[in-house]
Amino acid sequence: MAAPMNAGSGTYSYANNSSYQRTGFNSAKNLIKDVLIQSVDVKTLMSSTSNTFTITDLGCSTGPNTFLAMENIIHAIEQKYRSQANDSSCLEFQVFFNDQVSNDFNTLFASLPVNRNYYAAGVPGSFRGRLFPNSSICLAYCASSIHWLSKIPEQLVDKNSKAWNKGKIHYTDARDEVVSAYAAQFDEDMDGFLNARGKEIVRGGMIVIISPGVPDGVLANHVGITFRFVESILIAMVKEGLIKQDEVDSFNIPHVYPSVKQMSKIVDKNGCFSVVKMELRNTRTDLEASLDRDGAIIHLRAAMEGTFLRHFGRKTAEELFKRTIQQKSELYDMLDKSGSEVGAQIFAVLVRK
């Protein structure tokens, strides 16, 4: 399992370096509100839950993005309930903040909004399995989380397998067997995710998903330019004798970027949910505007330092991230030449059958 985002509130903390995820939410917040107002039958859901609307953020990390998302969702639900019942004063909200056991819940709860209009609780554990009692959740929200795999497929580190990912750290530019192994693990993870939510979410309840994604038909092994950049640094460190080749061969980044076609197929096969809305969109409102590339380098460390630390150790991870700063112009050149669409996001809303 991947390590959680960087804890605390320091220079490289996720709490201070999650603007990319916040941009993803901000670009979708009006869409979330519109879909919920149109599609959620709050009055019917409340008939079996004593006027308590239960929400969970799956993969909440340390904030502050989760608080913005919960506020947006609650406002939408209140608006819809007023339109159905003329009075939302009796409606109460319970928000369950979920992430891995090793997540920094201390920072999360220390920064809870003082004037929030919901009751807050933490629920540690993997969202790939059950977290809540049967039919106890009205709405689940999951942003920038489902693209993290629960584990690396074993065949990627098996020297006797056709999917042995020698000299690479991702499926970017890898052979087809590697791409297929990643895709199969993502399918398995998503099926587990949907099965668990199918038991926990009341009929008519919903899941809102925001995730990095790719267009249908895009070559699956040409998606992770940043990972190719990091890979090149690690290979250089091998050549310099700073780390061993086996350390790189046995390391694979647990990220998959799905397409709408892939996601739709998984949902249909699972059968617990129907698709209310699913589309690929771009988080950037101005595609001509320049990217915050220096911010991207720091974000990489805030989001993935723990994953590198677990495998390579502190000394190697520190050297790796030092070199990402020193060689950042190489990454910028790779991004410019790739022609990849930066900011592609899958937005999905599913309803429990």
pTM: predicted TM-score of the whole model, two decimal places? 0.93
- How many other β-carbons are positioned within 10 Å of the β-carbon of residue 348? 24
pLDDT bracket for residue 288 (50, 70, 90): very low
Supply the mean pLDDT for the chain.
90
Which CATH number is correct for 19-352, 3.20.20.60, 3.40.50.150, 3.90.650.10, 3.90.1150.10? Answer: 3.40.50.150
Structure tokens at 279: 């589309």
Q: Are 140 and 197 in contact (CB under 8 A)?
A: yes
171 close to 131: Cβ distance less than 8 angstroms: no
Q: Where are the domains of the chain?
A: 19-352
For 228, list phi and psi in degrees, rounded to 5.
-65, -40
Q: What angle do CA 174, 177, 181 make, to 5 degrees?
A: 100
Percent of the chain past pLDDT 70, that is, above it, reads 92
What pLDDT is stored for residue 340 in this prediction? 54
Segment 41-50, tens digit of pLDDT: 998 888 765 7
Query: What pLDDT is attached to residue 289?
Result: 46
Per-residue pLDDT of 204-249, as tens digits, reads: 999 999 999 998 877 665 678 889 999 999 999 999 999 999 999 9
* DSSP characters over 170-198: SSTT--HHHHHHHHHHHHHHHHHHHHHHH
Q: Residue 330: pLDDT above 90?
A: no
* pLDDT of 287 above 50: no
The answer, yes or no, to whether residue 302 has pLDDT greater than 50, is yes
Give the residue-averaged pLDDT of 59-71. Answer: 95
pLDDT of residue 58: 98
